[in-house]
Amino acid sequence: MCKKVFFSLIFVVGFWISAEAQQECSLGIGATESDTIIQIFQLKEAQITNLEEFKAALEIETRLLDEERKNLFENHPQSTPEDLAALGGKYKVLEERMKQVFKKYDLKLLALFNEKQYQRYVTLCQEVERRPLVVVPE
């Protein structure tokens, strides 16, 4: 019985997270091949260098969060519905942190885009009915 509740909880949390993530338009740094991003936005050499640095930093941050996720599932009590609800809440927090890490690096790369590159990004986002991220100048 607890396993059914657990899997239902994970499914609901995962569905909610994916529905929320679909609203914003992501570049997919770390998930998309760098060559694809480079070609689509016609990145300059300096931008390519930054993209690779962002990708490496993203990998480190997501690896740490993935380790936290594994520890959570391995060590958190899961014998009662209350345990599973607490596990779901903690998992939700980790997922939100993961989304924020990806968004942070998307924003860093978008900040390096020139006007034409950014307009291409906005156009592509509109085509797939996603909300483009807005870069706020520092």
Interval 4-40: pLDDT, tens = 433 343 443 444 444 454 589 999 898 888 999 999 9
Which of the 8 DSSP states describes residue 132? E
Query: With contact defined as beta carbons under 8 Å apart, do 120 and 41 qualify?
Result: yes
**Domain encompassing residue 94:** 2-132
Alpha carbons 6 and 8: distance in angstroms, whole number: 5
Query: With contact defined as beta carbons under 8 Å apart, do 132 and 121 qualify?
Result: yes
Is the pLDDT assigned to residue 45 strictly greater than 80?
yes
Per the domain annotation, does 103 fall within a domain? Answer: yes
Q: What is the rounded average pLDDT for all residues in the chain?
A: 84
Per the domain annotation, does 138 fall within a domain? Answer: no
25 strand-pairing partners: 132
- Over range 95-104, report the average pLDDT: 93
Per the domain annotation, does 137 fall within a domain? Answer: no
Per the domain annotation, does 77 fall within a domain? Answer: yes
Total domains in the chain come to: 1
Is the pLDDT assigned to residue 75 strictly greater than 70?
yes
Listed range (53-57, 71-75, 124-128) with the worst mean pLDDT: 71-75
